[in-house]
Structure 1
Amino acid sequence: MRFLKPGLLPLRLFAKLYLTMALSTLLLISAVVFVSDYSQRKLSVISAENQQLLRDYARRSADIYWQTPDPEQRRLKLNQWIDTLRQRENTWAAIMKTESQFLAGSYDRQVFWGQKDLGTGRSVALPIHLYYSFNPVLKLPMADTGYFLMIQLPQHMRPGTYWREIEGTIQYGLPVLLVAIFALLIYRHLAKPLVLLQDATQRFSRGDYQVRTAAALGPRADELGELGRSFDQMADRIGLLVQRQRQLIQDISHELRTPITRIKLAMGCNTDDPLWQRLEREVNGMQTLLEDTLTLSWLDNEEFNAEKNFTTETLDVCLLIEALADDAQFEFPDHQLQLNLPDQYELNNSNHRALGQALENILRNALKYSPPGSTVSVTLMALENELLIRIRDQGVGIDPEYLEAMFEPFFRADKARSQAVPGYGLGLALTRRQIHAVGGRISVQLNNPQASCAADSAGLTVNVWLPG
């Protein structure tokens, strides 16, 4: 099996993903263990306030011991104090001595951390085991008495009240969170170049044949970097082919201009002969085709689209549409032309030649394909940040699947209709390029949106949006 290069099996991306997942797993386990141990240590220690309270109880016991010299009175008062303490804390308590007796061996200070009394009970500073429900007995020394206050840890002082919930969060919530973070890092590592490639592909499909991915993906030494370099090679090749195709069209168009001009001169003014009239129409059609082809090639050039290198001006759209309507009404006297326009509307940074030719082509098509006696309406609406020009006809319409394809050069949806109406299929393609050239956009919709074929479409509505 081959990947990208013959004879090699480049698993660089696989190695990255494997190492990332392996490292993520180790970090995940380490994080869970560390956080669990740290939380358990912190939560298993009696709070400082409760430790101080227990020491105060031991100091109070010592005070009663020293303030009562008589042994019987001392015993009585200490018993009363212990009963009070038991009721207050709802636990067991006592005062006692604990002594260690060695049958063999001897005491070692280092081994027992300097504590000589090794009897029952534990210090308040030691951690409490969170998994045991039994509360331990604490041993608090009564200063200078040799006795200890022995008290079972009151339940309200027990640390780690919410340890079970915290432990569940650490065991289940923390892994989910860390996995989400690791997945996000992996996703960004994979998605970023894919988004760049997607953007480059979309820009390339829109006619930006200079877009390349080398700057963004060139440094990557994995399969995605190879994919970016393959895209650049493809873009270079296709860009060169498109450039040669456009140059070929321009060269052919320029070369055909001269012989067509010579033919027209050779024909002279003999307009009475029907044959010569037919030849004149055909030659004029060829000349129109050449001019439209050159204009389309010029508007479709990516350098033109990037620089918009044509004259921009301020124009009154209403006056422009009225002038076009007068000419169209003269050419199609059997049609009704309805204009819904304000008194004036100034459009900045536009071009009257490009916009006028585009609107004229749309209007002529609407009248051309509408039956005699029908009405074609032109409506101008000022929206929030743009201008909408809507041209609605009552023609034969078009099948819904051809609504977008009709803007392609030389498109013909109905061969019979193409024979009845002269033209070469460049009109709408040229119109769309001209609308885009002035910063607008164009769309076509059926007058009857539920139509499944041209016969039911009840005509077309062309919408032209222009920046206001």
Structure 2
Amino acid sequence: MKRRLLWKVCGIVATGGLALVISTSLLEKWAERQMSVIAPHHQRTLADWGATAEALYRAGDDAALAAWLEALQAQENTWAAVVTSSVTPVAGGTLSAQFEEGYRLGRLIEWPIHLYFPDNPIMDITFAGGHRHFLITLPQRMRPGSHLKSVIWLVNGLIPLLTLLAIGWLLYRHISGPLRYLQDATTAIAEGQPHANRNLPPRHDELGELMLRFDGMASKTQATITAQRQLLADLSHEIRAPLTRLSLAIEQMKAGATSPASLARLEQESQQMRQLVNDALTLAWLTHETPAVGNDTFDLIDLLDALLDDVRFEYPDHRWCVSLPESALLMHSNQRALGQALENLLRNACHYSSAPHEVAKPPTVTLTLSAGPHSYQLTLRDNGPGVEASQLPHVFTPFYRTAEARQSRPEGTGLGLALALRHIQAVQGGISTRNHPHGGLEHVITLPKNAAQPHVAFSSRRQL
């Protein structure tokens, strides 16, 4: 369901509103019912007045009863009287027991009072026998509900306020958690501190998606910063040696020891530094950016034939075992990026094959290509010594070179395989590397036939 946060907020507001209406209505009715009953001590006073009136009436002293009623009316500023009631049915009718038992001329003292009527009710204290009654208009001092308006205002004001505060608190708790998390994370990133992902409960709404996207962005940013620092440190380390040699060559030239060999060495060192800087910049761009897949459509076999012609010219003593189909069409790829990656891999395989003087084991490079439903698999193998198992996971690490590589190719930068990996990833491909059981290093490159719509996820990790 989309817009889950909207529905959550609407649910909280609707539930709170419904609870507000129900609670206010029930509490108001309860307060009105509790406040509309005459106080118990006033009920006892009314009952005592009724007992006094009944006693005077049964004593037959009408003068005393009249004097008492007059005094009571003056005292309470109300009306009071003792009356008789006689209901006679006509046309042969009869009175039911329920009527005779419940017939009253006024309200019983236990009954609630209608507080919304301005006039006080007439109270009825019935004498024994049911036909004599002491009637009195309820004195104002005994009228209940004197604080009803305050209570109603309190119920209609305080309860909604508390309910709205509760709704606001719930909304704040629901929203402030992710916002506080983002605030702490952005503060940590701004201060250069690592962003620690908290184990917050999963949220299936827009804020939860925002947190996940932010964590991904923060992780990528941290990885980029770390990689840039590492790249700068590695580049500084690698460039120190060529700079030292350049300084020595310049000093020799200043001393007058200029020779063609010195100039050649100077040119070689400057070219090596230029190549190192160019490769480092290219690697940084490929690592920290997401290059768009190219729109080239070309035959992989034509590209491989052109690359093989170049490396065969440079390594004429190598033997080649090549098995390629007549055609291998690639769509929405990048011929330049793929060509640079394959050229690096081919040159690397040629260099680390057996030395030419080993007649029993001539340098041999094997290249095969097979087609799958949605991809091509290119296998490149040399017959060199391979790589130690402990060093194999690092062959694609920038600036990483084994001890043998540093001895055999001191001019190398350790960026060739790293660039090859990034170029292959840029065309949605993958590469895995292992030591072949029969010797040599083997690369297996997987390339999608249509890079714009890859059907499988290709692994780019190094495998033993």
Structure 2 length as normaliser, TM-score? 0.50
Pair member with larger Rg: 2
Structure 1 length as normaliser, TM-score? 0.50
